[in-house]
With several copies, the nearest count.
Chain A
Amino acid sequence: MTVLEQSGAYRPTPPPAWRPRVDAAPLLPDEEPFRLLGTPAAADFDSALLARLYQELVRGRRYNAQATALTRQGRLAVYPSSTGQEACQVAAALALQERDWLFPSYRDTLAAVARGVDPVQALTLLRGDWHTGYDPYEHRVAPLSTPLATQLPHAVGLAHAARLKGDDVVALALVGDGGTSEGDFHEALNFAAVWQAPVVFLVQNNGFAISVPLAKQTAAPSLAYKAVGYGMPGRLVDGNDVAAVHQVLDEAVRRAREGGGPTLVEAITYRMDAHTNADDATRYRGESELDAWRAHDPINLVEAELKGRDLLDEQGIAEARDAAEAMAARLRERMNDDPVLDPMELFEHVYAEKTSQLREQAEQLRAELDAESQEGER
Chain B
Amino acid sequence: MTTAALDTARKPATMAQALGRALHDAMAEDPTVHVLGEDVGTLGGVFRITDGLTKKFGEDRCTDTPLAEAGILGTAVGMAMYGLRPVVEMQFDAFAYPAFEQLVSHVSRMRNRTRGAMPMPITIRVPYGGGIGGVEHHSDSSEAYYLATPGLHVVTPATVADAYGLLRAAIASDDPVVFLEPKRLYWSKADWSPDQPEEVAPIGRAVVRRQATGAGSPATLITYGPSVPVCMEAAEAARAEGWDLEVVDLRSLVPFDDETVCASVRRTGRAIVVHEAVGFGGPGGEIAARVTERCFHHLEAPVLRVAGFDIPYPPPMVERHHLPGVDRVLDAVARLQWESEWTEGRTG
A and B touch in the complex (CB under 8 A): yes
* Among listed A1-9, A47-55, A358-366, interface-contacting one: A358-366
Which residues of chain B from 312 to 339 have a CB within 8 Å of any chain A CB? Answer: 312, 314-318, 321-322, 327-328, 331
Is A157 in contact with B81, judged by CB distance below 8 angstroms?
Answer: yes
Question: Are A153 and B43 in contact, CB atoms less than 8 angstroms apart?
Answer: no
Q: Give the chain B neighbours of A154 by CB distance below 8 A.
A: 74-75, 77-78, 81, 106
Residue of B nearest to A369 (CB): B321
Q: Does A374 contact B (CB under 8 A)?
A: no
B-contacting 9-mer, from A12-20, A59-67, A161-169, A245-253: A161-169
B60 CB–A CB distance under 8 Å? yes
Per the bound structure, the CA–CA distance linking A356 and B113 in Å amounts to 21
For residue B105, which residues in chain A have a CB less than 8 angstroms away from its CB? 147, 150
A216 to B60, CA, bound (A): 13
- Residues on B with beta carbons closer than 8 Å to the beta carbon of A160: 75, 78-79
Residues of A within 8 A of B102 (CB): 150, 153, 184
Please give, as numbers and ranges, the residues of chain B lying within 8 Å of A143 by CB-CB distance.
110, 113-114, 118
Give chain A interface residues in 114-171, CB to chain B under 8 Å.
Answer: 125-132, 135-137, 142-143, 146-148, 150, 152-162, 164-165, 171
The residues of A that contact B98 with a CB separation of less than 8 Å are: 147, 182-184
- Is the pair B310, A146 in contact by a Cβ cutoff of 8 Å? no
Interface size on B, residues (CB 8 A): 84
Q: Which residues of B contact A179 (CB under 8 A)?
A: 67
Chain A residue contacts of B327, Cβ below 8 A:
368
Interface of chain B residues 74 through 112 with chain A (CB within 8 A): 74-84, 86, 94-95, 97-98, 101-102, 105-106, 109-112
- Inter-chain CA distance A349–B206, complex, in Å, is 24
A346 and B314 in contact, given A187-B70, A284-B42, A351-B175 (Cβ under 8 angstroms): yes
CB atoms of B310 and A126 under 8 A apart:
no
Q: How far is the CA of A148 from the CA of B150 in the complex (A)?
A: 21
Nearest CB in chain A: distance from B288 CB, A: 16
B215 adjacent to chain A (CB < 8 Å): no
Which chain B residue lies CB-closest to A184? B70
CA distance A331 to B85 in the complex (A): 39
Contact B68 A181 (CB under 8 A): yes
Q: From DSSP, what is the main secondary structure of chain A's interface residues?
A: helix
Residue in chain B with minimal CB distance to A285 = B42
CA distance A358 to B137 in the complex (A): 21
Task: For B135, list chain A residues within 8 Å (CB).
Answer: 77-78, 106, 125-126, 128, 131, 146
Number of chain A interface residues as a range: 35 or more
A216 near B82 with CB under 8 A, answer no
A277 within 8 A of B: no
Docked Cα-Cα span, A183 to B68, in Å, equals: 7
Say yes or no for A209: interface residue by CB 8 A criterion: yes
- Give A312 to B67 CA distance when docked, in angstroms: 42
Please give, as numbers and ranges, the residues of chain B lying within 8 Å of A152 by CB-CB distance: 74
Interface presence of A339 (CB below 8 A): yes
- Asked if A348 is at the interface (CB within 8 A of a chain B CB), the reply is yes
Min CB–CB distance B39 → chain A (angstroms): 5
Stretch at the interface among A188-196, A261-269, A301-309: A188-196
Contact of B311 among A78, A148, A356, A358 (CB under 8 A): A358
Q: Which residue of A lies closest to B65 (CB)?
A: A191
Query: Across the interface, which residues of A come within 8 angstroms of B259, CB to CB?
Result: 356
B269 interface contact, C-beta 8 A: no
The proximity string for B residues 131-151 relative to A, scoring 1 for CB distances below 8 Å and 0 otherwise, is 001011110000000000011
In the bound complex, how far is the Cα of B60 from the Cα of A345, in angstroms?
A: 38
Name 25 interchain pairs, CB-CB below 8 A, sorted by A: A136-B117, A137-B118, A143-B118, A146-B137, A147-B101, A147-B106, A150-B105, A153-B71, A156-B75, A161-B81, A181-B71, A183-B98, A187-B66, A209-B67, A212-B64, A217-B66, A341-B318, A348-B116, A350-B310, A352-B175, A355-B204, A355-B256, A356-B258, A368-B321, A368-B327
CB within 8 Å of B: which residues of A?
A: 77-78, 106, 125-132, 135-137, 142-143, 146-148, 150, 152-162, 164-165, 171, 178-179, 181-184, 186-188, 190-191, 194, 209-212, 216-218, 283-284, 339, 341, 343, 345-352, 355-358, 360-361, 365, 368-369
